[in-house]
Amino acid sequence: MNITVIALGKVGLPVAALYAARGHRVTGCDLSPAVVNAVNAGVSTLPHEPGLAERLAAVVSSGQLTATTDTVVGVVGAEVVIVLVPLDVDAAHQPDFRSMDGAFQTIASALKPGTLVILETTVPVGTCRSRYLPVFEQGGRRCGVDFFFAFSPERLQAGRVERDLDTYPRVVGGIDAASAARAAAFYAGNFTVPVITLDSAEAAEMCKLAESIYRDVNIALANELAAYAAARGIDFMQVIKAANSQPQSHLHRPGLGVGGHCIPVYPYFLLNDAETAALTLHARRVNDGQHRLAADQIEAALGGLSGRRVLILGLTYRTGVKETAHSPALDLAAELRQRGAITLGHDPLLAVDEIAAAGLTSVDLGRPVSADAVVLHTDDPTYLDFDASTVAGCAVVLDCAGAWDPARVTARGITYLALGRPARRPPVSEARP
């Protein structure tokens, strides 16, 4: 088949390469000349996506995948168009449709009769029918006759796209029955996972929101319980292990917050539309407030933050994924600076200029470093054996990843803090000034 993938980002590029590797002729469209040039050279822009570099080089070399900045050229010959333009929210938590609107206008201008268009980007409920169906219907075209339009949410995480595509069932909802059938047949012909066809595009759109909100709420529950446990002198890590021995309990670990393009964003698609969604709203407030609780802990332990140097290890939102969108580590850094601290940062996935652009001073852990406190955000292998006592002046550690041994930290004269755990202080004779 001739397949066109719109937007070659962290999901679009692996998806395009996968379809090409399965024998289809794929055109990838992206507005970035740098991305298009890299793809046409067979060079992956996502070095931490397993297997992508090799697959991309192979399908570009064979001619199965090409990329272009001209979306019209990409769409005009397509039998299937898959839209993966990212949708984020602005400072007021409203969805920013500008890029997606532009993409759909262009797709509509080049759409040939009989083309199947599938939107896979997570969107607010009703987006396909109310926002983009009228764009396609201009000029008297009819859905289910002249073109086909369906929604099928991507259900995957960066860093494991191929695995997730071949693991989780595809959920499909069409604007009409004919569109749903076309989309379901397309996925069934390309994947061995089950295809779940829902009654409408709206049901499929809500499915993805429900999945994301479920996770956000459960993370918020863990964070709320962790705060209560710490206030009562209880180690919540022990509580989690014991509680989850009961098969109906699935408590998550507490953390610094929720990052990435998905979970911090999608609940607002519901909140902007629902008359009441108190639980979803509370979960967002809890998770969005975790970095302030962490700053409170550090400030209390140091006796103030003005002029204090705080080193944050791990700045991406998740271990092993080069993505800083909505990263809780960066939220914490901004909060610390607002309180007068000087923020230092290190991440094995980020370059010095990328760390500087995020507002932190990059440090080289292979050279002498001085800081009053060290925050461990991700459990990257680089940090698992890191000894905070090698940081000159370090008196406090905040272990947000739960990856360091408290006894080992306090034995070196450093106060150990963690979310959901009481503070553990070194013996007076060993405490650092």
**What type of residue is 360?**
L
Name 83's Cβ contacts closer than 8 Å, sequence gap at least 6. Answer: 6, 7, 100, 103, 104, 107, 117, 118, 119, 120, 121
Cβ burial, residue 218 (10 Å; 0-12/13-18/19+): middle
Judged by DSSP in three states, 328 sits in helix
Active-site residue, selected from the candidate residues 128, 143, 262, 394: 262
Name 259's Cβ contacts closer than 8 Å, sequence gap at least 6. Answer: 316, 317, 318, 323, 324, 325, 326, 327, 328, 329
Report residue 85 CA to chain centroid gap: 14
For the question of residue 262 being annotated catalytic, the response is yes
Contact 226, 172 (CB under 8 A): no
Cβ burial, residue 120 (10 Å; 0-12/13-18/19+): buried
Taking alpha carbons only, the member of 73, 68, 77, 72 closest to residue 25 is 77
Residue with tokens 């709420």, as numbered in its chain: 217
Contact 18, 165 (CB under 8 A): yes
Active-site residue, selected from the candidate residues 128, 207, 208, 400: 208
Taking alpha carbons only, the member of 119, 116, 130 closest to residue 179 is 116
Count the Cβ atoms, other than its own, within 10 Å of residue 354: 16
For the question of residue 241 being annotated catalytic, the response is no
Separation between Cα atoms, residue 134 and residue 200, nearest integer Å: 17
Is the Cα dihedral 68, 72, 78, 82 positive or negative?
A: positive
Judged by DSSP in three states, 337 sits in helix
Q: How far is CA 205 from CA 117, 137, 210, in A?
A: 15, 21, 9
Q: Which residues are catalytic?
A: 208, 262
